[in-house]
Structure 1
Amino acid sequence: MSDLSLLTIVTTAMVLLAIALGVIGPALAMGRAISQALEALARQPESEKAIMRTLFIGLAMIESLAIYVLVIALIVLFRNPLIALIQ
């Protein structure tokens, strides 16, 4: 097995691990945010608009973390700076 193919396999495995670990945090945060919003709606249904607006803004911020992980992982996968050292 050549050094280039070994580097490609290791890089791909690390990117998969980074995406998996990087999405766990935002997924747990989204679940907790939705749970707390539903609990707040059950307590005070008259403040639905304010709670939903705040929930959607918070979910967008949380989702941006997962998107950043994906972007960085794709940069590492397709523009790996270590490939230049092997060739």
Structure 2
Amino acid sequence: CTPSGWSTGDYEAHEILQNSQDTNRESKDVCGFCRKTVAFPEPALEALNRTYHESCFHCRSCHVPLAGKQYYNKAGIPLCESCYQV
């Protein structure tokens, strides 16, 4: 069942691509949410083709943390399963 106004191409389930203590991460990476620098050794992850502080990667609707959890992508906006199904 597709939520009203969403096409099946707009969202899909994703897993976190990388949860870092990644020494290859460049110091100039900018968080995809807060736009502040993500510097090693801060906990960070890569998702939706961006780098995020671990604490910044949360559902944009209810703000539940999504680091290390399954999430849904709606036009580049991460959502938890509960908010995705609404």
TM-score (norm 1): 0.25
TM-score (norm 2): 0.25
**In terms of Rg, which structure is larger?**
1
Q: Higher helix fraction: Structure 1 or Structure 2?
A: 1
* Higher-RCO chain (CA-CA 8 Å, sequence separation at least 6): 1
